[in-house]
Amino acid sequence: MGERPVIKIKQLRKFYKGKYRGVDGVDLTVYKGEVFGFLGPNGAGKTTTIRILLDLIRADTGSASVFGLDVHRDSIEIRRRTGYLPGELGFYDTVVAQEMVDYFGALCGSVDPGIVKDLTERLGMDLSRRIREYSKGNKQKLGILLAFLFDPELVILDEPTSSLDPLLQNEFYEFLAEESHRGRTIFMSSHVLSEVERVCDRVGIIRDGKMVAVERIESLKAKMGQLVTVEFDEKFDVGDFEIPGVSKIDVNGHTLTLHVVGNHDAVLKALSQYKIRRFLAKEYSLDDLFLEYYHEGGGNDE
Amino acid sequence: MNSGLAVFLWTFRRKWKGLAIFIAAIGLLILVIINVYPDFSELRGKAIAEALGGDMEISLTRNDETDGNYTLTWSKFGGADGYVVVKSKTEIPLSLIKGMDVSGVNFRLWEFLPSDGTESVHPFDATATKADFTVPDKTPGEESAPVYFCVVAFTGSVSDARIEGASDTVNTKELVAKGAYDKLIEHPLMKAWVGDMGVEMYSIKGFMSFELFSSLTLFIIIYFLVQYAGAFSSEMENRTIDIILSTPLSRRRLFISRYLSWVAVNLIVIVGWTVFMYVGVVSIGETANAPLADIARTTFLFLPFALTVQGFCMLTSVATHDSRKAYGIAFGIYYGMYVLRIVSMLSERMSFLKYFTIFQYWDYNAVFVAGVVRWGGILLLTLLSIGLFIAGLTVFQRKDLAL
C-alpha cells in the first residue's frame, strides 16, 4: 500500500433541499492500494459521500478529489478509472445480461473480453438470461462484474454483500482479497463490521453525517479487550474501578459492567474487596465497539 | 464504439418494438378509415342533395355604369333556411370557408381565409333573396380585377349549408356537405380537441383532415407523452442512471444522444404516418386529390410540433425524480393547454388564450386542405423546441441525480 492519496475529502457538506442532512463535514483520505471500509448505520451519509465522489450529486461545500482530480470538474476522467457498485442496483430488467454488459462496455470505451470471461467464470454467472429472471444475488453479481469490468484503478462498492448469501459473501471476500493483492484500491461501504474486519486495512466510521473515527483494523482490535459484568452482594464504590485500562463503566443497581482493555490485575484487585454474587467476562467484539461509536461517537480521527 | 452512439442505439433498440406496434396500429387505423371515405362521400352527397334540392340561380347586376353599385340576387330553393353572402377579391375555394357558425339570427365568421379582403357583406338572413354591393371603380389603366361573390345557403337547425357563387358570372358551384356530423365538428369542444375543421367533409382532403390528422395528432401526442415524459425520472427512480453515469459518459452526451434517438423515433412515426396515408389514398384511387407531396408536406411540418412535445416531456422528465410526477406534469400541461383552447373558443373575450397553446401553431387543416403554411407558427414551435431542449439539458447537468 502506497502513501499516495487516491480519495481525499475535506469538510464535505451536503444538505438535500437545503435542510435534509446528507453529510455534515466529512474528512477522509484513502490511500492507493488499500481496502478501506466505510462504516455507518443506515442514513449516516455513506451513500451520499459515494455519490458525491461519482458526481451523481453535488456537495454544498467542502472539497472532494479522486486521483487528485476534482470530483465535479474532472468527473469523466475519474469515472474512466473508477468502477462502481451502487447500493441500490438498477438494471434494465427486460434485456439479456450479456446485452447490459456489452452496453456498459461500449460506454466505458473498450473492455477486454478476457476480463469479462474471467469474471463471469469466477462469479459463476450465466449472461444469457434476462436480467428480470435473475435472483437478487445474481443481480448483485452482475453489478460486481460491471464494477470490475474495465480493470479500474479504484473500485467503489456501496454495501456490496447486502444481497449475497453467506456462501457468496465468502467468495466475494476472497475475490476482494485477491483484487487487493493485485494493488487495486477499494473503497467499500458497509454496516456489517465483520466483513470490514475481514477484508479491510482501515475503517472509517460515519455517524449522523460526520466521521467519528478512522482507524486501522489492528488499532480497533487492540481496543477490544473484555467486557466484565459483576453482580455484587452489597453496595460498592464505583470510584474503586476508575483505574487505567478500564475504558467504560456502567452501573445498574448492584451490577457493574466494565470494558477492560489490559490491566486485568488491577481490576481483579479492586473486585477482591467485595463479595461477588455473579461474575461474567466475555470478549469485547468489534461489533460492540462499532455500536459504541454508533451510539456515542468517539474514537480518534486520523 | 462512441459512447454517444451507444446510447443512441441502446435507446432506440429499447423502443423499436413498441414503435413498430404503434406504427402498425396507426397504419391500420389510417387504411380502415380512408377506405370508408368512398361510401361516406356518396352518402353525404345524396343527403345534401335531398336536403337542399334543386338549383340555386344567382345573378349579378350592375345598377349603373358609374358608381359601381351591384345587386346580387338569388333564388330561394327548397330546404334552405337562410343565406349568407360573402365577397372576396380572390376565388373562394370551399376549403377556405372555415367553420361558419349560424345560430338563430347571429352569424359569426370564425375564421375566413384568405385574409385578402374577404368580407361578409350580407349577414345571415332567412328571407333575403338579394344583396347590394359597391365595388370601387378601377383606376384608369389598371387591369380589371375580378370580384367574387358567393352565397352560402344554410339548411337545418344549425349549419347544413350549400354554397354557390357568382363573380361577374359565377365563382363556383359546389355543394358543401354539412349536417349533424358537421355540427359535431363545429362544436367548440370538438374544435379545441381536434382543431378548427370547417372543411368540406365530402372531399378526400377534408375527410382525411378531420378523420385522420386530428385523431393521429392526438394519438401521437399521447404516445410521445408515454414514451418520453418519465424517461429520465424513471431512471433516477429505479437507479439505472447510477450504473450508466458511473461510466465515462457525460450527462450532456447522455442527454443529447437520447434526444437524437427520440428525434429518430419521431421521424419514423412521421414516415410511417405518411406512407400509410398515401397507401390508403392509392387504395381508393384518390391520388389526384390528395397527392403524396401534400401529405408529406403536412406530416413533416408536424416535426416542430413533435419536437416541442418531446422537449416538454424531457424537461419534466429531468425536473423530478418521481416518474409519476413527471407524467402528471406533462399530461397536466397538455390538458391545461386543451382547456385554454376550449376557453378561447367559447369566449371571444378570451380568444387570446389560444396563443398560449401549442395546438394553435400546428394547423394541419390549413397546410393539408388549404395549402397554406403558416411559417410564423412553425418558426415559433421550432424556437420553443430548441428552448425546451436547452432548458432540459441545463436542468439535467445541474441536477442531483439522487435524493
What's the full length of chain B, in residues? 403
The rounded distance, in Å, linking the Cα atoms of B213 and B226 is 20
Are the Cβ atoms of B248 and A79 closer than 8 angstroms?
yes
Domains and CATH numbers, chain B: 3-34+200-398 (no CATH), 51-186 (2.60.40.10)
By C-alpha distance, which of B153, B149, B152 is closest to B168?
B149
Q: Which residue has the cell 485500562?
A: A245
pLDDT score at A49: 95
Q: Which residues of A touch B398 (CB under 8 A)?
A: 58
Q: Which residues of B touch A51 (CB under 8 A)?
A: 242, 401-402
Please report how many Cα atoms fall inside a 13 Å half-sphere around the Cα of residue B213, on the Cβ side. Answer: 29
How far does the CA of residue B9 sit from the closest CA of chain A (Å)?
A: 10
Q: Which three cell numbers stand for residue A73?
A: 470538474
Check: CB of residue B353 under 8 Å from CB of residue B333. no
The rounded distance, in Å, linking the Cα atoms of A282 and A291 is 16
How far does the CA of residue A99 sit from the closest CA of chain B (Å)?
A: 10
- What residues in chain A have per-residue pLDDT under 70? 1-2, 295-302
Which amino acid would we find at residue B377? Answer: G
How far does the CA of residue A163 sit from the closest CA of chain B (Å)?
A: 16
**Phi, psi of B155, deg, nearest 5:** -140, 160
Instruction: Tell me whether 0.95 is exceeded by the ipTM.
Output: no
Q: What is the pLDDT of residues A16-50, one digit of tens each?
A: 888 888 899 899 999 999 999 998 888 889 999 99
pLDDT score at B157: 34
Q: Which residues of A touch B234 (CB under 8 A)?
A: none
Residues whose CB is less than 8 angstroms from the CB of residue A171 and which lie 6 or more positions away in sequence, other chains included: A123
Other beta carbons less than 10 A from residue A229's beta carbon: 15
Q: Which residues of B touch A146 (CB under 8 A)?
A: 243
A interface with B, Cβ–Cβ below 8 Å? 16, 47, 51, 54-58, 75-77, 79-80, 82-84, 86, 88-92, 94-95, 103-104, 106-109, 143, 146
Look up the CATH superfamily of A5-217: P-loop containing nucleotide triphosphate hydrolases (3.40.50.300)
**A1-17: string of b/e by CB count within 10 Å (b at 16+)?**
eeeebbbbbeebbbbee
The rounded distance, in Å, linking the Cα atoms of B308 and B389 is 9
Q: Which of B11, B246, B318 to mutate to test the interface with A (most CBs of A within 10 A)?
A: B246
pLDDT score at B3: 86
Number of separate helices (H) and strands (E) present in chain B: 14, 10
Nearest CA in chain A to B11: A103
pLDDT score at B247: 93
Long-range pairs of B147-150 with CB within 8 A, sequence gap ≥ 24: B147/B87, B147/B88, B147/B89, B148/B87, B148/B88, B148/B89, B148/B90, B148/B91, B148/B92, B149/B58, B149/B60, B149/B72, B149/B85, B149/B86, B149/B87, B149/B88, B149/B121, B150/B85, B150/B86, B150/B88, B150/B92
- What residues in chain B have per-residue pLDDT under 50? 93-117, 156-185, 187, 189-190, 192-195, 197-199
Residue ranges per structural domain of chain A: 5-217, 225-284
Q: Which residues of A touch B241 (CB under 8 A)?
A: 56, 90
Counting one residue from chain A and one from chain B, the pairs whose CB atoms sit within 8 A come to 78
The rounded distance, in Å, linking the Cα atoms of B172 and B78 is 20
Q: Which residues of B touch A54 (CB under 8 A)?
A: 242, 245-246
How far does the CA of residue B270 sit from the closest CA of chain A (Å)?
A: 27
pLDDT score at A87: 87
Q: Which of A88, A107, A140 to mutate to test the interface with B (most CBs of B within 10 A)?
A: A107
The hierarchical CATH code for the domain A225-284 is 3.30.70
How far does the CA of residue B238 sit from the closest CA of chain A (Å)?
A: 5
Are the Cβ atoms of A16 and B240 closer than 8 angstroms?
no
pLDDT score at B67: 59
